Chain A
């Protein structure tokens, strides 16, 4: 019985350690897209940055930083509905991230002001 239990624990440990590198690779690949996106955004190439951050999210849908950056890019391009969706997804994943929340509050300040002015 102890051999079986030891064997089961060993298999579980191997599965966890084996899965670790897979997740690390996905996040690593997504991170490289995010870093490239930051680099091109700083050069004013926002559409390329959007492509890179969308790719990062395809690889790792839980990457809140990529969602934040994508929201910023959508905002800059005037795609305010997409920006709102991306900010809200980022905050669902990482609700305590103060920088994402600050970005979102600044976005809402402009977006809500626009919506209020459109009311008859």
Chain B
């Protein structure tokens, strides 16, 4: 007699098949293993010739709420002490904006060798005037010639036994933006189930932009070895009163790993999957 199997026999067969499959899987063992790894990254700069590093100071501008020169020097020295093999020189922070202004005064013998543009026939054109207050990026441009003053930096290097010198510019400016922003909003349906829905709302936000440029100078010759610029931005709800200094540190935290990777080997932790 032929026909479909009774329902009870069919469900027994299915259960038995499932049990056999489960047992087989267990017997074979896992086929993938998650494993932690650390990828070493070589430093961008060859600093093997240096035992010491001088974080000299920065030409800083932007918000008056933060002494960006002091804070940047302090933070970078602290980071290099704990995460680099270079010995960090503990010296007074150099007021580079004032130093640059002194160097630009006519007849100042501290000027040394400065890159200048050739003007029309008759002699070199006058250098760009250095703005007293630094509010925007264009205010920083005339100060760049300070880093090309090799005689000056060589003299600094001799004073501190030929270290690697780190200097540059830092601009920390307030910033605001208004517009529609997509936010995730929790909603509950009639069954009480939670859902997250994107909702576009008009928002006024304010925050800060941090734009440092790090210049690495060979203290033995005064010549620039390398420079790198960064830009980080953070925005908050306009009603949120976040102190400028907190924002500065939050933005610098994002940049510090890249700064450190210029000078020292870093290891990036992650995990991968090994397969059988």
Seen from chain A, the residues whose Cβ lies within 8 Å of a Cβ on chain B are 31, 34-35, 38, 41-42, 64-65, 68-69, 72, 75-78, 80, 97, 99-100, 102-103, 106, 110, 114, 117-118
Contact = CB atoms under 8 A, between A and B. Distances in A.
A69 B272 CA distance: 9
B276 interface: yes
B38 to A, nearest CB: 7
Contact of B44 (A68, A99, A117): A117
B151 to A, nearest CB: 25
B120 interface: no
B44 A42 contact: no
A99 B32 contact: yes
Contacts of B228: 117
A42 B35 contact: yes
Given A41-B35, A42-B35, A72 B272 contact: yes
A75 B40 CA distance: 8
Contacts of B270: 106, 110
Nearest to A67: B275
Given A110-B268, A117-B258, A41 B38 contact: no
A69 B275 contact: yes
B41 A72 contact: no
9 contacts: A38-B276, A42-B33, A64-B275, A68-B274, A72-B272, A75-B37, A78-B40, A103-B272, A103-B273
Contact of B33 (A31, A38, A110): A38
A97 B33 CA distance: 15
Contacts of A72: 35, 37, 272-274
A117 B275 contact: no
B273 A99 contact: yes
Interface residues of B, number: 20
A77 B82 CA distance: 24
A76 B39 contact: yes
Interface in B254-276: 258, 261, 268, 270, 272-276
Contacts of A38: 33, 274, 276
Contact of B275 (A76, A77, A100, A106): A100
A100 B42 CA distance: 25
Contacts of B41: 78, 110, 114
Interface in B229-276: 258, 261, 268, 270, 272-276
Contact of B39 (A65, A99, A110, A118): A110
Q: Chain A CB within 10 Å — which of B270, B272, B276 has the most? A: B272
A99 B42 CA distance: 27
A110 B40 CA distance: 10
A76 B270 CA distance: 10
Contacts of A80: 39
A102 B44 contact: no
Contacts of A77: 40
Given A76-B37, A78-B39, A110-B39, A41 B274 contact: yes
A95 to B, nearest CB: 15
Nearest to A98: B273
B32 A34 contact: no
A1 B253 CA distance: 83
Given A76-B37, A78-B41, 15 more contacts: A34-B275, A38-B33, A42-B33, A65-B275, A68-B274, A68-B275, A72-B272, A75-B37, A75-B272, A99-B32, A103-B272, A103-B273, A106-B270, A110-B39, A117-B258
A106 B276 contact: no
A69 B276 CA distance: 9
A47 to B, nearest CB: 14
Contacts of A35: 276
B7 to A, nearest CB: 38
